A and B are shown apart, each in its own frame.
Chain A
């Protein structure tokens, strides 16, 4: 809106916050403030802003989408991963409860197998730690899945996706409901393949079997280094604010 999305990530925004920090530090150390309570309050604000800078600049944030039954390697999502994060994550089951008579979910959660040994439940508002990272149950999507069998090779995939079978790239496009065929593309050539029936496509025997819907759990991951200190400073700031207003009136 109003081009402000660019401003938030711009250097100008950073410069303005740095200027505010410098102004606050100057008023603390150059006798702009006399009361220790006021100095502490403004010092805490500077620390909070600096910690936010640190978190935004250094801590990594990423998203891991995992389909039911799928296993991913946690380290693959991290930039410059530490070997200790070579952790397999498997989504065993995705559970969803709807509000009665509504399409709005009341709760949803993922049953994850971490490191092939620890089963854990990841739910909204109940993050799960993995080392210095925290996993958050963010969202989900439901895909109708297909099993594609060709030349002894098999792939399980959702509609509108790209797979590689027998070193060939296959694009799976739309499903034609009336003809019950799937529009696919191999090497630029277009085909309509009947569902569930083995047929010859591009000179190769191929069978596409509909498997029904499967959930994909969308998991947000954040490096949480320093964030607890940030929360502590924010709470201290609130206490200092109340103290400044009501317990210690500045003269």
Chain B
């Protein structure tokens, strides 16, 4: 079979497989809400992740590159990373809060399905993107986003339920939030540094005040406030995490649609 034929076949299976993936996540979500056995939910989530993996593979084959280069592809990647986190570090996440994470995954997969087809078209890579650094820069950011999604969920739980900061349940929740923020902060920094090195190798300039770069820096500076609070009250910390999450949403979606720059393709 020729390469173009393989690409076309992959493209044909990608969308139906994505709908099946979304349905499987939905089933896992319903099982979780009905309070059925945890094992059932886990089993269905695993099958959904497997289907999700096949979607990513089909996309990579049809596009001819890893699913890192546009909104549709990165939405699939981000939801996949969050799903992996949900099953591999299951014990870290309280069973009462797993529905929140599953609903985030469902929202992202649903949004990927509903995106207009013009945003789903696989476009060939421009030469500057064809680099080893893409395999570090993009996954680092999305690993950071994944951790920040979890921190955001913990922050929301704390703000809605956290009457007593010193209760053992809230202490454990805040510890988890702190850990996720640290992971997010480190990976956002790795993304920024590797992006600068890559830009330097491609264009001879590591920083151009491009809107995406500026907002990536704003994400980091917002999260840096988290570590520099003089009296680190949990409510303040949670609010900063929510603010950082909103700046990340703007960096990810707002900058791509509202501002133009060297990252416009993303």
Contacts and interface: CB of A to CB of B under 8 A. Distances in A.
Interface of A: 1, 4-5, 8, 52, 61, 99-102, 104-108, 124-125, 127, 134, 136, 138, 220-222, 227, 230-231, 234-235, 237-238, 241-242, 245-246
Nearest to B207: A52
Contacts of B201: 125, 127
Given A1-B211, A8-B209, A241 B203 contact: no
A245 B188 CA distance: 14
Contacts of A108: 127
A237 B131 CA distance: 23
B17 interface: no
B228 to A, nearest CB: 9
Contacts of B204: 61, 127, 134, 136, 138, 220-222
A5 B214 CA distance: 11
Contacts of B130: 106-107, 124-125
A136 B201 CA distance: 8
Nearest to B127: A124
Contacts of B20: none
A107 B193 CA distance: 25
> Which range contains the number of B residues in contact with the other chain?
20 to 34
Interface string B150-169: 00000000000000000000
Nearest to A230: B206
A88 B206 CA distance: 28
A238 B189 contact: yes
A220 B186 contact: no
Residue with the greatest number of chain A CB neighbours at <10 A, chosen from B123, B124, B127, B186: B127
Nearest to A109: B127
Q: Which 10 A-B pairs have the closest CB atoms?
A: A222-B204, A99-B124, A124-B127, A8-B209, A136-B204, A245-B182, A234-B193, A220-B204, A125-B131, A104-B124
Contacts of B127: 105-108, 124-125
Contacts of A1: 211, 259
Contacts of A220: 203-205
A106 B205 contact: no
Given A106-B127, A125-B131, A242-B186, A227 B209 contact: no
A238 B4 CA distance: 41
Contacts of B126: 104-105
Dominant SS at the B interface? helix
A235 B193 contact: yes
Residue with the greatest number of chain A CB neighbours at <10 A, chosen from B124, B126, B189: B124
B266 interface: no
Nearest to A221: B204
A1 B182 CA distance: 32
Contacts of A101: 4
A104 B125 CA distance: 8
Interface string B194-225: 00110011111111010100100000000000
A4 B209 CA distance: 10
19 contacts: A4-B209, A4-B214, A5-B209, A61-B204, A61-B205, A108-B127, A125-B130, A127-B201, A134-B204, A136-B202, A220-B204, A220-B205, A221-B204, A227-B200, A227-B206, A231-B200, A238-B189, A241-B189, A245-B186
A136 B203 CA distance: 6
A242 B130 CA distance: 29
A61 B214 CA distance: 21
A100 B4 contact: yes
B141 interface: no
Contacts of B239: none
A230 B197 CA distance: 10
Contacts of A136: 202-204
B1 to A, nearest CB: 16
Contact of A222 (B182, B190, B197, B205): B205
A105 B202 CA distance: 15
A48 B185 CA distance: 18
A138 B214 CA distance: 22
A54 to B, nearest CB: 13
Nearest to B221: A20
B119 to A, nearest CB: 17
